[in-house]
Amino acid sequence: MRLSSHNLPDTTAPSRPHVTVFCAVWHKQPNKLELLKSHWDNLKRQSIPVEPCYIFDNGDTAPEWLAAPWHSFSEPLTIYEAWAAGVALARTRFVMNLNMDDRLSTDAAEMMLRGLLQTDTALIGGEWIIQFDHAFQTEVFGSSDPKQTCFEPAWPPAPIEGDKRLRLGSGTGERGTLGPATLWDLEKTQRWYPTHFGNRDPILSIGDAIFWQHLHKKKLRTARLPLVIGRYFSSPDAQAEFRPHNDEENLRTHGVHEVSFAQSITATRNAMPQPAPQGASPFPKSRNAIENESQALALKYLGLLGHGTPAASHPRA
């Protein structure tokens, strides 16, 4: 697997954004360029500067008009591998994911960063209005009080009658999720995001929930902002969270692999200044079977990215 990076930010600039917002630009995404344009416009309207980080896969490249940092992987990525790449490639302390078809209020990044710092938590989520068509994706809107919305527990969500808008329940705590997009502190969480189960099968649908559980196990606190900070597009026929998968069974049976795709990228860019001897491992000798398995997967990733020992083909979504 090859990685190319473009329009990289000047990290020595005197005034730098505090937040990176990364987005997976899936190679099979319908209306990809239209969504990318309105997504980038949405980020440029934020009340505080944010640094975009677009992750392309399957050899896709950005259009010429995208004057924002972007990275292209030569092979297909799962959504969580793309997010893990965003975590690894971000050059700010705070990061946020934002799906191609979701949109933030103009003050979302500012409100979430302020809430994260005030609560001294590792990660924060907010409330979202659920949308069932694409019209909202080019609209400009600010944050709002969730009292102006209503909640229905059914999942997948369905349109409701009446004037009130349907909220997700992520900011109010009515639903277990922290939201389709959250903001977190890399100094607390480190550059890790779950991408595989213990049997090396890729995580396809519940990566965000696994990440939140990981933070709780590490005694890192999360918070909810009781404010509508975005609009979430719901389409069960088109979204990964509604596609068939065996994630729950894999989680129960195999657990989550300790090595993330993020760590492989970090290793290739920061931890390997000198070429490794032929056949040698770039990692310390393992002390037990778990470490040995973790190092094996890391070596596999390094091979895919063109470093270290060549690896076999990688499972994809």
**Domain at 112, CATH number:** 3.90.550.10
Task: Check residue 271 and give its pLDDT.
Answer: 40
Phi, psi of 186 (to 5 degrees): -65, -25
Does 277 fall in a domain?
A: no
Average pLDDT over residues 84-96: 98
Q: What is the reported pLDDT for 270?
A: 58
Measured distance CA(72)–CA(87) in Å, rounded: 15
* pLDDT of 245: 81
pLDDT over threshold 70, residue 110: yes
**pLDDT score of 303 more than 70:** no
- 152 φ/ψ angles, rounded to the nearest 5 degrees: -130, 130
Determine the Cα–Cα distance for residues 88 and 73; give it in Å rounded to an integer.
14
Confidence category of residue 278, pLDDT binned at 50, 70, 90:
very low
Is the pLDDT at 283 greater than 80? The verdict is no
Of the pLDDT bands very low, low, confident and very high (cuts 50, 70, 90), residue 102 is very high
Q: Is the pLDDT of residue 20 over 80?
A: yes
Structure pTM?
0.84
In a domain, 21, yes or no: yes
Name the pLDDT band for 85 (thresholds 50, 70, 90): very high
Rounded to whole angstroms, the Cα distance separating 8 from 89 reads 10
- Euclidean distance between CA atoms 157 and 28, whole angstroms: 24
Q: Are 126 and 149 in contact (CB under 8 A)?
A: no
Residue 267's pLDDT band (boundaries 50, 70, 90)? Answer: confident
Query: Which residues form the domain of 98?
Result: 3-254
In a domain, 299, yes or no: no
Q: How do 183-185 and 94-97 pair as beta strands?
A: antiparallel
User: Residue 272 falls within a domain, yes or no?
Assistant: no
In a domain, 72, yes or no: yes
Residue 276 lies in a domain: no
Any idea which of 75-84, 95-104, 232-241 has the lowest mean pLDDT? 232-241
Number of domains into which the chain is organized: 1
User: Does 37 or 163 have the greater pLDDT score?
Assistant: 37
Coil, helix or strand at residue 56:
strand
For residue 127, give the nearest of 183, 154, 159, 167 by alpha carbon: 167
Q: Is 297 part of any domain?
A: no
Asked if residue 45 is part of any domain, the answer here is yes
H/E element holding 233? strand 222-233
Characterise 166 by phi-psi region: left (phi > 0), alpha (psi -120 to 50), beta (else).
Answer: beta
CA 128 from chain centre, in angstroms, equals 17
